[in-house]
């Protein structure tokens, strides 16, 4: 098993962590004071290909997309402050794209006024995000029947959603023992890994094609790129989109905690780039600030190029036929075979690499990425 390369720790020509442009100060004793935040987009520049995908998939014009990214940035700053101010009664948050604002869940009704005074919508819930995560983690300890294809924490409904293909006795028994925090959601397809050095470009193993995620330089100066773990599971050599040797596959994880792999770039013919492929150009990646549930997100893959959508849930467990993978992020973005391992961004912030999904880019679908 490889040591995971965390985006916030990647250095050199890869993902550079950056601070937010503004700070927010809301002491507990003055929580009714307005929150002052920066409404910039942290230097986001939308390339023509990404602009086209945002317009096609989310109905966002370039101007509207810039407003959305500014709203998401503002919401991230507000939520980070309120998480500290509220302490144990903070129960989670998400981004309301229609309203352009953060929503913060709390377990104490007396906190509603404080949250709203900070310019953030508030909801009272019964369970915290930590409690819901514990419920989801508990499901992994059970025998999962064939009719269950995954589950995720759904903060807006304060529940854990279990996705099912059928209502067989085994599925019903699984649901019956899951507890009151769980509800079932019928789905029609089982997700699958999307088999088929800029993020989104193709790379090849012995008999398959996947997509590059993000390039990375380790502390010793070694060059690598991250991709999907199910792509790197067999080891061996790797070649680039032009069939020129890159180096060797040197790490794979597919299971608890995600779907991620590493390829060592040892050939002197390749130079690492901190960008994501965008047709004839490239999109610069500036950091790795995590986008919220409800935020706009885009991905690039070697089969279908750029497609965009929204983050629907985090900490998703997916029961692939090849094995169960935890810790994924669920989106309504489409993808197809060969897009696996490709890069995900929100604005100019790296989010993760494509794992798998269901559907396609003709009819739409659900895709999961490993953060």
Instruction: Return the residue matching tokens 């992020």.
Output: 329
Does a structural domain hold residue 148?
yes
Question: What DSSP state is assigned to residue 280?
Answer: T
In this prediction the pTM is: 0.78
Q: What is the CATH number of the domain that holds 250?
A: 2.40.10.10
pLDDT at 8: 31
Output the CA–CA distances (angstroms, integers) from residue 342 to 239, 298, 303, in the order listed: 15, 11, 10
Is the predicted pLDDT of residue 2 greater than 70, yes or no?
no
Which domain covers residue 215, as residue numbers?
A: 1-18+47-58+143-371
302-352 confidence digits (pLDDT tens): 999 999 999 999 999 999 999 999 999 999 999 999 999 999 999 999 999
Question: Does residue 84 fall inside a structural domain?
Answer: no
- Catalytic residue list contains 340: yes
Annotate 197-239 with DSSP letters as a single string: --BT-EEE-SS-EEE--EEEE-TT--EEEEE-HHHHTT--EEE
Write down the residue that tokens 């002491």 correspond to: 27
Q: Is residue 83 one of the residues assigned to a domain?
A: no
Task: Judge contact between 66 and 73, C-beta under 8 A.
Answer: no
Per DSSP, what are the bridge partners of residue 163?
150, 185
Q: 219 and 225 in contact (C-beta within 8 Å)?
A: no
Longest C-alpha distance within the chain, in Å?
Answer: 62
| R_g of the chain, CA atoms, integer Å | 21
- Does 130 fall in a domain? no
Q: Which of 300, 340, 355, 358 is catalytic?
A: 340
Q: pLDDT tens digits, residue range 78-118?
A: 999 999 999 999 999 999 999 999 999 999 999 999 999 98
Q: When comparing pLDDT for 343 and 23, which is higher?
A: 343
Residue 172 CA to residue 169 CA, distance in Å, equals: 5
Residue pLDDT, tens place only, 257-274 = 999 999 999 988 888 888
Q: Residue 195 has what pLDDT?
A: 55
Q: CA 171: distance to chain centroid?
A: 28
Catalytic annotation, pick one of 215, 259, 302, 358: 259
Cβ distance 271 to 299 under 8 Å?
no
- Mean pLDDT for the stretch of residues 65-74: 94
Confidence (pLDDT) at 270: 86
Whether 158 is catalytic is no
Is 70 exceeded by the pLDDT of residue 224?
yes
Q: For strand 305-320 and strand 148-154, is the pairing parallel, antiparallel, or unpaired? A: antiparallel
Three-class SS state of 142: coil
Backbone region of residue 232 per phi and psi (left: phi > 0; alpha: psi in -120 to 50; beta: other values):
alpha
> Of 224, 230, 253, 307, which one is the catalytic site residue?
230
Q: Which carries the bigger pLDDT value, residue 174 or residue 43?
A: 174
339 phi, psi to nearest 5 deg: -80, -10
Torsion 322-186-135-261 (CA) sign: positive
| Strands 258-265 and 223-227, sheet pairing | antiparallel
User: Which pLDDT tens digit goes with each residue over 115-144?
Assistant: 999 889 999 999 999 999 999 999 999 999
- Domain annotation covers residue 275: yes
Distances in Å between the Cα of 234 and the Cα atoms of 65, 206, 237, 251, 369 are 40, 9, 10, 10, 20
Answer whether residue 42 is part of any domain.
no
Question: What pLDDT score does 179 carry?
Answer: 87
Return d(Cα 157, Cα 181) in angstroms, integer.
10
Long-range pairs for 100-107 at CB < 8 Å and ≥24 separation?
Answer: 100/67, 100/68, 100/71, 101/71, 101/75, 102/74, 102/75, 102/76, 102/78, 102/292, 103/156, 104/79, 105/129, 105/155, 105/158
User: Is 198 among the domain residues?
Assistant: yes
Of all residues in the chain, the percent with pLDDT exceeding 90 is 70
Active site residue 230: yes
Query: What is the number of domains present in the chain?
Result: 1
Q: Is the residue at 102 inside a domain?
A: no
């Amino acid at each position: 098993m490889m040591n995971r390369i965390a985006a916030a720790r990647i250095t050199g020509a890869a993902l550079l962590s950056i601070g937010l442009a503004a700070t927010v100060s809301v002491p507990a004793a003055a929580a009714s004071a307005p929150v002052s935040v920066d409404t910039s987009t942290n230097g986001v520049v939308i390339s023509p290909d990404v602009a086209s995908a945002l317009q096609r998939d989310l109905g966002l014009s370039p101007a509207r997309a810039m407003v959305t990214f500014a709203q998401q940035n503002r919401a991230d700053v507000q939520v980070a402050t309120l998480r500290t101010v509220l302490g144990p009664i903070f129960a989670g948050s998400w981004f309301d794209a229609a309203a352009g604002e953060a929503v913060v869940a709390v377990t104490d009704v007396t906190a509603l006024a404080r949250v709203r005074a900070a310019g953030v919508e508030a909801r009272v819930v019964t369970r915290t995000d930590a409690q819901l995560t514990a419920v989801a983690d508990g499901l992994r300890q059970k025998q999962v029947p064939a009719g269950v294809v995954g589950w995720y924490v759904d903060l807006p409904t304060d529940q854990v959603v279990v996705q099912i293909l059928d209502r067989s006795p085994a599925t019903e028994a699984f649901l019956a023992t899951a507890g009151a925090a769980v509800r079932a959601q019928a789905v029609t397809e089982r997700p699958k890994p999307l088999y088929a050095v800029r993020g989104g470009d193709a790379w090849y193993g012995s008999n398959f094609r996947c997509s590059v995620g993000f390039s990375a330089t380790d502390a010793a100066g070694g060059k690598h790129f991250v991709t999907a773990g199910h792509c790197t599971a067999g080891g061996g050599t790797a070649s680039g989109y032009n069939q020129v040797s890159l180096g060797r596959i040197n790490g794979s994880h597919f299971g608890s905690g995600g779907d991620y792999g590493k390829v060592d770039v040892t050939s002197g013919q390749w130079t690492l780039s901190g960008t994501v492929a965008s047709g004839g150009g490239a999109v610069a990646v500036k950091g790795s600030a995590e986008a919220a549930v409800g935020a706009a997100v885009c991905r690039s893959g070697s089969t279908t190029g750029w497609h965009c959508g929204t983050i629907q849930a985090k900490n998703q467990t997916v029961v692939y036929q090849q094995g169960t993978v935890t810790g994924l992020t669920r989106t309504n973005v489409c993808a197809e075979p060969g897009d696996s391992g490709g890069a995900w961004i929100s604005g100019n912030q790296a989010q993760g690499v494509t794992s798998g999904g269901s559907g396609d880019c003709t009819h739409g679908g659900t895709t999961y990425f490993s953060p």
